[in-house]
Structure 1
Amino acid sequence: MSKNVVLDGRRARGDASRRIVLQSATDLASVEGLDGLTIGRLAEASGSSKSSIATLFQSKEGLQLATVAAAREIFTAQIVEPARQQPRGVRRVAALLRNALAYSKDRIFTGGCFFAATAADVDSKSGPVSDAVRAALTDWYGYIEVQLRHAVDAGELDADVEVLAFELVALNEEANSRSLLLDDERPYALAAAAMGGRLRAAGADDAVLALLNL
Structure 2
Amino acid sequence: MTDGRKARGERTRAAVLDTAVALASVDGLDGITLGQLAASHGVSKSGLFAHWRDKEDLQLAVVDRAREQWWNEVVRPAFAAPRGIRQLWALHEQRMGFYERRVLPGGCFFATAVHEFDDHPGPVRDRIFDALRHWLRLLRNTVKEAVAMGELRDETDPKQLAFEMQAIGVAVVTHSRLLASASAYQYSRQAILDRLRALAIDPSLLDEPKRNGEPT
Q: Answer whether TM exceeds 0.5 for this pair.
A: yes
Contact kept, 8 Å, 1:40 with 1:50, in 2: the verdict is yes
The 5 A counterparts of 1:2-41 are 6-41=1-36
User: 1:53 deviation in Å?
Assistant: 2.2
Corresponding letter in the other structure for 2:195: R
C-alpha separation in 2, matches of 1:210 and 1:146: 24
User: SS at 1:162's partner residue?
Assistant: helix
User: 1:196 deviation in Å?
Assistant: 0.9
The 5 A counterparts of 1:28-67 are 28-67=23-62
Aligned length: 206
1:90 is aligned to 2:88 = no
Structure 2 gap ranges (5+): 210-216
Q: Deviations over 1:103-146 (max 9, x none)?
A: 11111111111111111111122222111111111100110000
C-alpha separation in 2, matches of 1:48 and 1:119: 30
Q: Deviations over 1:3-48 (max 9, x none)?
A: xxx2212111110111111121110011011121221333344444
Contact kept, 8 Å, 1:141 with 1:169, in 2: the verdict is yes
Structure 1 residue corresponding to 2:204, chosen from 180, 203, 206: 206
Structure 1 gap ranges (5+): 1-5
- Structure 1's 41 and 185: CA in aligned 2 closer, same or farther, altered over 3 A? same
The 5 A counterparts of 1:181-200 are 181-200=178-197
User: 1:186 deviation in Å?
Assistant: 1.2
Contact kept, 8 Å, 2:21 with 2:66, in 1: the verdict is yes
C-alpha separation in 1, matches of 2:204 and 2:107: 29
Contact kept, 8 Å, 2:26 with 2:112, in 1: the verdict is yes
C-alpha separation in 1, matches of 2:206 and 2:22: 33
Structure 2 residue corresponding to 1:163, chosen from 160, 183, 199: 160
C-alpha separation in 1, matches of 2:40 and 2:126: 26
User: 1:101 deviation in Å?
Assistant: 0.8
C-alpha separation in 2, matches of 1:184 and 1:27: 21
1:81 is aligned to 2:82 = no
Contact kept, 8 Å, 2:139 with 2:162, in 1: the verdict is yes
Contact kept, 8 Å, 1:24 with 1:46, in 2: the verdict is no
With the length of structure 2 as denominator, give the TM-score of the two structures: 0.89
Contact kept, 8 Å, 2:197 with 2:206, in 1: the verdict is no
User: SS at 2:49's partner residue?
Assistant: helix
Q: Kindly, what percent of the aligned residue pairs are identical?
A: 39
The 5 A counterparts of 1:77-156 are 77-156=72-151
Corresponding letter in the other structure for 2:91: L
